[in-house]
Amino acid sequence: MALIPPVAPMLAEARRVLPPEGALPGGLVAEQKADGFRALVFARPGSVLIQSRRGSDLTPAFPDIAAAALALGEVLILDGELVVPHRGRLDFPELQRRARRRGRSAAEVAALHPAYLIVFDVLEAAGTERLARPYRERRALLEDLFARDVLGAPFTLCPNTTDRGTARWATLAGGNWSDYLAARRAAP
């Protein structure tokens, strides 16, 4: 059964301290939170919708992401974080300016300040809803979509880790998303 928007995204929990070893069914998987807008991308043949966390239509504000989603060639619903890198950092104010643009203005600013979708989940693929499937299975499917080049720039795979030391560092230190996006953009 296909998902029909609006869909309420699953929300992560911010933690100051990692849960004890073995406390989470399926184990610990940590992802860094990017400074952006949560978005679900509904890609279907001939149509695309970019939905905000609260259910608003962001499609007109992000024509670059919409065009890439239309070109996918597969029915997918992706869950991720819209970001705009600028001058070596993720630029939340620039992302906010992008979100207010429509029409020609949105296309012009997209050319100057392209957006990316850092994808951390796939909710539907090939017309099959995946929400009830275990996270590890959905993650394997998502990694396969990137490995087969179904997904590429402006979509980028959200790094994750099951290593507690790395997870502790990522939650405390941050890291540099702009460097990561630049490396993804340069990758063949």
Q: Which of 33, 53, 86, 133 is catalytic?
A: 33
Nearest CA among 66, 13, 9 for reference residue 39: 9
Contact 157, 117 (CB under 8 A): no
Query: Which neighbouring-strand residues pair with 76?
Result: 43, 125
Distance of CA 35 to the CA centre of its chain: 12
**Cβ neighbours for 57, distance < 8 A, ≥ 6 positions apart:** 49, 50, 51
Check if 96 is active-site.
no
**Cβ neighbours for 16, distance < 8 A, ≥ 6 positions apart:** 171
Q: Which residues carry out catalysis?
A: 33
